[in-house]
Each structure stands twice: as structure tokens, then as C-alpha cells.
Structure 1
Amino acid sequence: MTDTPGWASPGSSEPPRDGTRPTADVPTVPGQSAPPHDTPPAWGTAPGAPQPPYGQQPGGYGQPGPYGGPAGPGGQYGWGAPQSPKPGIIPLRPLGLGEILDGAMSTVRKHWRTTLGLSLGVAVVQQGASLGAQLAVKGDTGEYTPVVTALVSMPVTLLLGVVAAALLTMVVSRAILGQSVTIRDAWRDARPRLLQLTGLTLLTGLIGVGVVLLGFTPLIGYLLAGAEEPAIVIPLAVVGLLSFPVAVWIWIQLSLAAPALMLEKQGVLTALSRSRRLVRGSWWRIFGINVLSQIIAAFVAGVISTPFMVAGLVLGFDDLARQADTGDSGALPTAMLVTMAIGGVISSTITLPFTATIGVLLYVDQRIRREALDIELARAAGLPEYGGTGWGGQPGPNPAARL
């Protein structure tokens, strides 16, 4: 999928202005040009084909419009714009909130073997690592047990997150064109970029953590000096808390870097710069969609995990009661940990593909809005009215469809 022409970055060093989209005859990829035309051809008619007389054109004056009603003098734009092509999970045009959410759910629904298989494998290893860390610590660190457990399992969690993001990005990129993909295909496409994606993930994480630590540095230094004057501590604490909105702002600015790195074969720093350009002017929209998707995923995960948590409390009630009587703050009962881990596996399996797909669809939506990527995607999908020739610019079906 990374070889598909539509994913290449624009050849111009100056990005398009915010809120503008190039016309259909402006190429978005170096060395390619769209077929010239003065007026857009009717949907379903190849460019250059003879057109029927005006009164007989679909949606022409006096003819049924695209939604069943009579069309006006605008021909095919009678009662509304013609429907955009939809070879895969999304229509190839600027997307609304509902279409992005529907595209994410459609990816899981239509490609459930690949998406759920990937997320299940990742969730099993991730929850297994967390469970193993908790059983190894056994509560010996007291109230710091959750922190120690998180630190022990963090490398595995980070690596699995990178692998899941890379593979699911490849799945979504093909699903947009209506192409099927297996886990083997996704791994083959994503493997060359895994090291760079790992570096990108570490760098963005360090940037966010560094901003927060920088904000709290004055407060930490003041407290370490042994001073605790409230008139100084409170303002310093406010300064530290203000670092969180700054970290969130940076997070959104860099949120499209991973898809840019994977699909455009960009370097780490170039992908970060690319993300900032794509987000510019749309920060609040991207922030809102990201937050909403996280809320939806958290709600679904909570609904799934709650019964397992309750079952774990029932199974471990005797051990918890004995610890309360003896004042022991040891580890949670093993039965409770195992039950909660099973719930975590199921919830992660369902929610991970959804949240990963949202990020890729936001990237595609921004490129459609700014760079007319929809035209290149229509060509890559093999739509003849856009001059498409099939998969990756080569005639014939997608080779992944035979697997």
C-alpha cells in the first residue's frame, strides 16, 4: 500500500493554504498529472467518452436528480451534489464526524479477521506481560506496586503499541480502497518502518513528558530547597498545571505523524513537520474527534471489563477480607488478577482497532481537504472515470485479494 501513488507527499515544498483544495486537474504527486477536462464528467462516464445530449444527461434539467427529485438547471447538481465514490470504508471526499466514526467501525466489521486477529494477539501479550509483572512483584513494594508494575511492563507495552499501530495503519490504508489484506500482508508492508515508528513514538512521548516536567520544575526545585510558603507554592503549582494543556496541544499537533511516516515513507523529523502542517487550522476539530473516540472506547471497555471486575472481586473476596483483617497491603488475589486480565484482553481486542483507525482516517481526511488526495485514491482504487488503472497503478486486481 505504501507504493500506491496516492500516499506520496506533495512535490511542492509549500503546503496548500488552509481550507483550500486543489482542483481535479492539479497533480498531487510528482510526475503524475490528472486528465485535463474543463467540466467534470458525469459519474460513471469515463473521461473523453462522448456525452449524451444535454436534456438526456443523468440529472439534467427535467430529469430525476441524484436523490430522486427533479434536477434544476445545474444538471447533476439539481437537488444536491452527486454522490462521491466509495470503493472502501469511506467516501472519497472530505469527511464528517459521523463518516469518520462509521469508517472506523466499518473497518473492524468488514475486515474483522485481520483487525481483531491483530488486536487479540497484541492484547494477549500485553495483558500477559502486565499480569506476569504483578505476580512477580506480589505486592512487596506496598503502595508503589502499581507504579512498579507499570514500569516493568512498559517496554513490552510500548513495543506492542508500535506494532499494532503500524499493522493497523496498513490495514486501514487498503480498506479505504476496498482492498482486503491479511496479517501477513500488513506485516510485510509495515516491517521496514517499525524502527522509525518506534523512534517517533519515543520522541513524541518524551516531548510530552518533558513539557510537563519543565512546567513543574520550579515547584519541585522550591520544595526540594525545603521551603513551603503557600503564597509561593500555589502559583508555582498553577504554572505546573498549565503545562498539561501545552502538552495536549503538542500531542494533537503531532498526532498525524505516525500515519505520515508509515504511508508516505517519511523520516521521523519530516513526519513530525508534516503532521504540524496538516493539523494547522484544524486543531480543535482533530482534538474533538480524538477526545470523542477515546471516550467511546473507554465506555465500551468499561462495559466489557465491569463484569470481569465484579467476578474477580467475588472470587478474591476471601483473600481481600483476610488482608483487611490483618492490615496486610499485599498483592491482589491471583484469581482476581487473572479474571481482570481476561476482561482487559477482550476490551482491548475490540477498542484497539477502533482508536487506531480514527487516527489514520483523520490523516486521510486532512489530506483530502488540503491536497485533493481523493483523486489519487480514486485512481489507485481503479475507478475508470478518474483514469484509474488498478492496484498501485498496475492493471489487474489487488494481489492481496488472492491471498
Structure 2
Amino acid sequence: MTSLPHDTSAPGAMPAGGGPTIPNRLLGVGDIVSGSFRTVLAAPRIFLGLPLLVAIGLAVPAVVLFSLALATGLASERATVLVGLIGVAVVVFGFAAAYVLLRMTGALVVGAYRVALGERPSLGQVWRDGAGVVWRMIVLALIFVACYLAVVIAIVGIVLLLGSDRAGEAGIIAGLIFVLGLIPAFYWITVRLVFIFPVLAIERTSPVASIGRSLALTKGSWWMTFGRILMLGLLTVPVLMFLSALTAPLELADSTSGDAAARAAWGVGAAVAAILSAVLNVVFQVYGFTYVTLMYIDARRREQAPAVGGPPQDRPVGPGSSYPYGAPGPSGIQPYPGPRPMP
């Protein structure tokens, strides 16, 4: 199992290419915003190349399946059998695509973690690192679905009970208050569970343990965590404005009028706008994964700050220690898994 990050103070331990992209101290929101940009730009092959490769790898079979379905729909002989076979292929492709996308997300999170702390892993390394997160995330998703169904059933039962004739008008008011009270509860739990994916990808915990770990990392810092998530949301505003600027001329144009050249120009413009919009969305999604990963790194530092009597100094993983943390120190807390400060 891989031990990382390396001790950058040891000769030859730092891979060529650069140092940490975040300062070696507790991070402010400005550090996270700018550090996320630096992290993505420090390893474009990982953060831009990997999504591009995955997009191409998924687009080719998708186009083939669509073409087969279209050709089958136009055929008259044995169409039912072929449609059934294509349906099975689509289901298989859907599961394969879900696996690839989850693995890519895990690779991007681990890649952001390693690059931010000073490593420059290869594309193949982070792709291998992302393998362990897939099945954990699937199990976690099943747990969430079961919990969601249980909560929905309980909510419907409570609302029906409060809104019954026996409960009367007071019951209806109580039911309305209960439903409105679920909104802040939803936001509360969403913020508390924001670190589930980084924990699964980096700490390699079990799905159930990742829930408790995220709750521990956000304990006592709900408002700070919420504010940082809100900042990430505010960063979407210029992205949406840019997308609107791309598509606004197309919405004003009429593709059914004019000569053939005008319609062709409209089609080319629509295609270019769609491609740019897709690329921009992917880049911002990658930035979002990186942003949350840096939030996780800071949460780890804040978790250890009281134990070390102040802002922690990143310490390397020791020889023989398991990925990604070393053995607990005298205080019982694992040393922070980062490189030492660069000179």
C-alpha cells in the first residue's frame, strides 16, 4: 500500500515539478480559494487530462450504442431482439460509466490532496489511488438511499397523523412547522457530511466510519464550514454569467430562418457554445473537488492544533506506516499527513 506524501526534507524524496500549493498553517478561505486554483494549474494532466480521457472513453461507446439503437429502429427485421440486446448493453454501459466516474472522482480528490501537499504524482498513480473509493461509495450510497426512504416514510406518516381530522387545526399547524423545520435540519446535516468523500478517498475508511469521521471533522465548526461552502457557491456566479454570455446570442437567433449559410453558422455557434459550456462545467467541477479537499486538509490541521499547542507543522508519513497516516504519536493523535515546510 502506498505511503504518501513523502518527506520533502529528505534528499530525492520530492518528485520533480514543484512544492506545496498551500501554506503550511491553518488555512483561511482566501488560502483555499487561491490554493485550489494553484493546485489545479500545478498538475493539468491530472485535473484536466483525466476528465478529458474519461469523457472520450465514455463518449465513444455511447455514440456507438446510440447509432446501433438508431439503426435498429430503422430496421424492420428482428428489431425486437436487437433492441433488447442494445437495452442490455445500455444497462451494462451505465454501470461501467458509474464505476469510471466514481473512480475518476476519487482519483481527483487524492490527486488534489497529494499535489496540494507537495507531490507531483503521475496520472497513472492517481488513477490507481482512485480504485479503492468506488465500492465504498456505492455501499455508502445504498446506506443513504435506505436512510432517505426511512426518513421520507417517517415524515409522511407524521404529516398524515398531524393533518388528520382527529388532530384538528392545531395538528395542521404543527405539521407545517414540522415540515419547515426540516429545511434547516437538511442544511445542517449536509454541512456536517461534507467531508465524507475526502475521508473515503484519502483515509480509506469504511462507509459507516466515514460518516462519523466527517461529523468529527466538522464538530464545533459548522458555521465556518458552511461559510466556505457558501463561498464555493458564490464562485459559480461568474461561471453562470459566462455561460449565459455564450448562449444568449444563440437564444436570440432563429435557426429556421435565413439562408443555408445562416443556419449553418447558427449550428456551428451552437456546437461551439455547447462544447465550451461542457468544458467550463467540468473545469469548475474539478475545482470544486479540489476546494473541498483543501477544506478537508485544513480541518485535519485544526483537529490537531489543540494537541500540538498551536498551528500544526505538517509532518511526513514515517517509514512503514500505512496510507496515508502514520502511527499515533504520544498524544494518541496521528501525525498530520503532509510534507515539511519548503525552505
The TM-score bracket by the shorter chain reads: 0.5 to 0.7
Aligned to 1:107: 39
Tell me the C-alpha RMSD between the 2 structures.
4.5
Residue aligned with 1:3, SS: coil
**2:301 aligned with 1:361:** no
- Which of 347, 363, 380 is the equivalent residue of 2:280? 347
Aligned twin of 1:10 = none
Within the candidate set 223, 247, 250, 1:284 is matched to: 223
Contact 2:133–2:201 (8 Å) recurs in 1: yes
Aligned amino acid, residue 41 of structure 2? R
Question: Identity across aligned pairs (percent)?
Answer: 23
Of Structure 1 and Structure 2, which has the larger fraction of its residues in helix?
Answer: 2
1:266 and 2:212 aligned: no
From 213, 221, 234, the equivalent of 1:295 is 234
2:55 aligned with 1:117, yes or no? no
Residues 1-400 of structure 1 aligned to structure 2 (within 5 Å): 3-4=3-4, 87-121=19-53, 162-204=102-144, 207=147, 211=151, 214-219=154-159, 233=172, 235-296=174-235, 298-314=236-252, 318=256, 341-371=274-304, 377-380=314-317
Residue identity in the other structure for 2:251? L
**In the alignment, is the contact (CA less than 8 A) between 2:40 and 2:112 conserved in 1?**
no
String of CA shifts for 1:111-147, please: whole Å, max 9, x gaps: 2232122344556789998xx99xx9xxxxxxxxxxx
Residues 25, 313 of structure 2: 8 Å contact kept: no
- Structure number with larger C-alpha Rg: 1
Alpha-carbon distance between aligned partners in 2 of 1:186 and 1:353, rounded to the nearest angstrom: 14
Is the contact between residue 89 and residue 178 of structure 1 (CA under 8 Å) also seen in structure 2? yes
Q: For this pair of structures, how many residues does the alignment match?
A: 272
Where in structure 2 are there 5+ consecutive unaligned residues? 10-17, 70-90, 258-266, 327-343
One-letter identity of the residue aligned with 2:4: T
Structure 1: state its 5+ residue gaps.
Answer: 7-43, 45-85, 137-151, 320-333, 383-390, 394-403
Task: Report Cα offsets for 1:311-337 as digits up to 9, x if no partner.
Answer: 442456649xxxxxxxxxxxxxx9998
Tell me, what secondary structure is at the counterpart of 1:347?
A: helix
1:345-395 CA distance string (max 9 Å, x none): 12212211211012111111111122259868443599xxxxxxxx999xx
314 and 5 in structure 1: CA distance in 2 versus 1, 3 angstrom threshold: closer
In the alignment, is the contact (CA less than 8 A) between 1:312 and 1:335 conserved in 2? no
Kept in 1, the 8 Å contact 2:32–2:295? The answer is yes
Relative contact order (alpha carbons < 8 A, sep ≥ 6): 1 or 2 greater? 2
C-alpha change, 1:317 and 1:97, in structure 2 (3 Å) is same
